[in-house]
Amino acid sequence: RNLDYENYSQQRQTSFEKQTKDAKKEREEYQKENVPICREDF
């Protein structure tokens, strides 16, 4: 029973990390697509 729980929490941790990575990637892609055209502003 304890082993089942450890397995379960391990899987949750893994899927959470995957979601975080995916979200980070999406945010980076979004930023790339929405770069302001006037770079002189920076």
pLDDT one-digit tens code per residue, 7-41 = 999 999 999 999 999 999 998 888 887 776 666 65
Rounded to whole angstroms, how far apart are CA atoms 17 and 7?
A: 15
Q: How many Å from the N-terminal Cα to the C-terminal Cα in the chain?
A: 57
Amino acid symbol at 28: E
**pLDDT for the residue numbered 32:** 80
**pLDDT for the residue numbered 22:** 93
Tokens of 1: 């029973």
